[in-house]
Amino acid sequence: MAASRSLIVTTASDIDGQRTVRVLGVVRGIVVRSPGVARGILGGLRSLFQGNIGVYEDVCETARAQAHDRMVAQAEQLGAHAVITMRYDATEFMSGITEVLAYGTAVTLAPAPAS
């Protein structure tokens, strides 16, 4: 589970010690990325050899971070305390152009009653 500012983001469907008070709806962050000409050529050359291609990895990590930040911003605008069941998805819809989507359910929380 990761926290962004005071907003909790988790892939889980609930948060220990908290109960969901209200479901605010699905929130998402979308980023469309291309590695660019220089990175594309460099990555293409490196793909001739086996192993991790750091140039492409950097593009992917940046896109995921931006999509995550956009999703969190949308949840904060709704007044959410957390985003639960968060997921990432990526789709290449043109050669070398990829959409990265971060999505989850924005909720408000309250402490769970003591048992």
The pLDDT tens digits for 26-37 are 999 999 887 554
Give residue 96's domain range. Answer: 2-111
Number of structural domains (the chain) is: 1
> How does pLDDT run across 44-62, given as a tens digit for each residue?
444 445 555 566 777 788 8
Q: Tens of pLDDT along 63-96?
A: 999 999 999 999 999 999 999 999 999 888 777 7
Q: Is 40 exposed, middle or buried (0-12, 13-18, 19+ CB in 10 A)?
A: middle
- CATH of residue 23's domain is 3.30.110.70
Could you tell me if 82 and 113 are in contact, meaning their C-beta atoms sit under 8 angstroms apart? no
Q: What is the pLDDT of residue 51?
A: 55
* Predicted pLDDT at 3: 43
The model's pTM is 0.79
Q: How confident is the model at residue 39 (pLDDT cuts 50, 70, 90)?
A: very low
